[in-house]
Amino acid sequence: MAVPLLDISRQHQPILEDLRSVFNTALETSRFIKGPEMEHLEKEFAEYCGTERAVGCASGTDALILALMAVGVKPGDVVLTTPFTFFASAGAIVRAGGVPLFLDILPDTFNIDPELLSGWLADNCSVTSRGVIDRSNGSRIGAVMPVHLFGQLADMDRIMTICNDWQIPVVEDACQAVGSKWNQKRAGSLGTAGCFSFFPSKNLGALGDGGMVTTDSPELADRMVSLREHGGKGYIHEEVGFNSRLDAIQAGFLRVKLAHLENWHKGRRRNARYYNKAFRGVGQVTVPVIKKEAWSIYNQYTIKVPERDELLNYLRKHGIGCAVYYQLPLHLQKCFERLGYGEGDFPVTEAVSKEVISIPVFGELTEEETVEVVETIRAFYAENG
Ligand SMILES: *Cc1c(COP(=O)(O)O)cnc(C)c1O
């Protein structure tokens, strides 16, 4: 039996009529961009995340760029993040004019190691009238960007303590963590700003592209509202922004889907719980480690196995959907050669990138399908044990 990595149509089946009516309304009103649908979504999304404000935009990538610009990242500023993430985390830093500076991850959670962050700042930085400066080259530290990978929040207690001490803004890349919590608080409500993606395969997916930034600061939110419209109010421009719009129709789809999100998380978490038990004693499988402070929405269920490529081929041959996030760490990407990193610079990231494999966990999987996934992996170890 084949099992897909993700099948969004199963999620949409029970809400087809609601989605169609959003489309009909857009057609009837000819309101295609932003407008009341987006404003309603912004309110509902802020409420869901537990923040004062939310600002809609065209994608998760744009959300990151908007947030970085709004917190004051200027051309040449350093932004600290990890090399084990989707390309957009670092791509957005460069697009905002910043320079990514990578720090390694923790081997169990795949998230930024806060002790490396604290150590790097202590060893390299000083506070000056221009802000926090890297003494080796005079670069300003513009922001820290923790990525909540696969749905689990980075250690936001430690990160916020460190960054508050240094007074460095924190831009959460929460693109894989809508609804996830750290000590009962939702992703996007812990940092200076939180960035979300509504790419269709994310836990809250539009029927196209979309993004959102959350923040408790009205000043930051207002600045992002301006930046997403070329940095102006009407035709008066105080700074140069760009064009990043959330379509009214996507906002409408997202409002329909947001109402079901908590329920959909239940399905993913049920599947994850099943896997956590079922993989006990199966070959060399390491199941995801979720910290006691964290509550994950399992955007991915990512296991670690030493014989990753063999297992990947075996699963593909047997029709089990799977993927490797992420095969080539960002510090080894061609486009970042100029940053001067090389093989061996981030040993945890490099080791993990050779061991990870993500398997189907979406909420609408049947019990039969999750059993099939486990039995196929068990069979792999029986044949290759
Ligand atoms: C998906 C994702 C993004 C980018 O979102 P888009 O909507 O595709 O632009 C950024 N960071 C992470 C970690 C992501 O998973």
**Which protein residues are within 6 Å of ligand 1, measured from CB?**
59-61, 85-86, 88-89, 147, 173, 175-176, 197, 199, 209, 211
Q: How confident is the model at residue 234 (pLDDT cuts 50, 70, 90)?
A: confident
**Is there a contact between 61 and 132 (Cβ–Cβ < 8 Å)?**
no
Q: How far is the CA of 175 from the centre of ligand 1 (A)?
A: 5
Strands in 258-312 per DSSP E: 294-295, 301-304
Please, what sign has the CA dihedral across residues 358, 362, 365, 370?
A: positive
**Ligand 1 probe mutation, 175, 198, 247, 300, most atoms within 8 A of CB:** 175
* Mean pLDDT score of the chain: 97
Q: What is the CATH number assigned to the segment(s) 261-383?
A: 3.90.1150.10
pLDDT digits (tens, 9 = 90+) for 102-158: 999 999 999 999 999 999 999 999 999 999 999 999 999 999 999 999 999 999 999
Ranges of each domain in the chain: 8-104+111-258, 261-383
> Quick one: pLDDT at residue 186?
98
Pick the CATH number of 8-104+111-258 from 1.10.3720.10, 3.40.640.10, 1.10.1660.10, 3.40.50.720: 3.40.640.10
In the numeric block, which tokens belong to residue 245?
A: 């719009």
pLDDT digits (tens, 9 = 90+) for 30-62: 988 888 999 999 999 999 999 999 999 999 999
- Which is the closest atom of ligand 1 to the Cα of 176? 15
pLDDT digits (tens, 9 = 90+) for 4-24: 999 999 999 999 999 999 999
> Quick one: pLDDT at residue 236?
87
**Is there a contact between 359 and 263 (Cβ–Cβ < 8 Å)?**
no
pLDDT digits (tens, 9 = 90+) for 200-212: 999 999 999 999 9
Residue 343 Ramachandran class (φ > 0 left, ψ -120 to 50 alpha, else beta): beta
- How far apart are the C-alpha atoms of 62 and 73, rounded to whole Å? 14
**Is there a contact between 56 and 38 (Cβ–Cβ < 8 Å)?**
yes
